[in-house]
Structure 1
Amino acid sequence: MAKIQVITIIASLLFLSYITRLILKGKLREEYSIVWIVCTTILITFSFWRDGLGIMARLFGVYEAPNLVFTGAIFAILIYLLHLSVVVSRLHAQNKDMAQQIALMKEKMKKQESC
């Protein structure tokens, strides 16, 4: 096993344990941790299976294996950004609704105090 493989495997396992720790402490929600766990598992898989990236590149018809890595990373980032945009849009709508409800409740309280 090459030195870079050992370093990559150790770093990936440490990152995986850090993700687990964040989940257990409640600092990272499970729905967001899935992406990180999947990416780390892929890194660990290709760290053990050195020829795997070349085989996957040939399977998808990509001439150079690093191009497959960049294409996959860009695709994953775009999907994750879309997911975060949906979450932010939903939170924005909920925040707007809550602000309106609070304004109505304050108005109601002022009317009750004046009576």
Structure 2
Amino acid sequence: MTVLLRGVLICVSILLTCYVLRKIRHSKMKIEDSIFWVMFALLLVAFSLFPRLADFVSRMVGTYSTANFIFAFMIFILLVKVFFQSIKISQLERRMTELIQAFALDREEKQEEEELKRESHQE
């Protein structure tokens, strides 16, 4: 792994960690989501501080270069994260639809009750 790549990984890791911590401080990010990103940054730091670890895993996997392994591995991790985010979004959309439907039914029932009250007062 080149010194330039190691430097870029360390810089990106530090910037990512600072950004995540800032978002946590301003309550714009949930703790469980921030744990993923901090662990992601720590993984980048581990690969950049211990390049032999990345070289070893790269050889075990069979990639042509360590840089290719690191990029492919990070893309894989991010794809897994996107998959779980898609699941979470689908669940939230389903819940939102159920809430909207329940709200509409409640509203309709209240309107019917008000109409019945008006009709009974008019008689």
TM-score (norm 1): 0.81
Number of aligned residues = 114
Cross-structure match for 1:74: 75
AA partner of residue 17 (structure 2): L
**Distance change (3 Å), C-alpha of 1:33 and 1:51:** same
After the TM superposition, list the runs of 4 or more consecutive aligned residues in structure 1 that deviate by more than 6 angstroms: none
- 3-state DSSP of counterpart to 2:51: coil
More displaced stretch, 79-88 vs 4-13: 4-13
Select the structure with the greater relative contact order (CA < 8 A; seq sep ≥ 6). 2
* Pairing 1:94-113 to 2, within 5 Å after superposition: 94-113=95-114
Determine the C-alpha separation between the residues in 1 that align with 2:4 and 2:69: 24
Determine the C-alpha separation between the residues in 2 that align with 1:78 and 1:6: 24
More displaced stretch, 97-106 vs 40-49: 40-49
* Pairing 1:29-108 to 2, within 5 Å after superposition: 29-108=30-109
Show structure 2 runs of 5+ residues with no match: 118-123
TM-score (norm 2): 0.77
Show structure 1 runs of 5+ residues with no match: none
> C-alpha displacement at 1:5, in angstroms?
4.9
Determine the C-alpha separation between the residues in 2 that align with 1:73 and 1:8: 11
AA partner of residue 52 (structure 1): L
> C-alpha displacement at 1:90, in angstroms?
0.4
Given that 2:16 and 2:37 are in contact with CA atoms closer than 8 Å, whether structure 1 keeps it comes out as no
| Structure exhibiting the larger radius of gyration computed from Cα positions | 2
> Once the two structures are aligned, what percentage of the paired residues are identical?
26
CA displacement 1:3-36 (0-9 Å, x = unmatched): 7756653552242122122113211112222221
More displaced stretch, 55-64 vs 40-49: 55-64
Determine the C-alpha separation between the residues in 2 that align with 1:62 and 1:5: 18
**Distance change (3 Å), C-alpha of 1:66 and 1:79:** same
- 3-state DSSP of counterpart to 1:51: helix
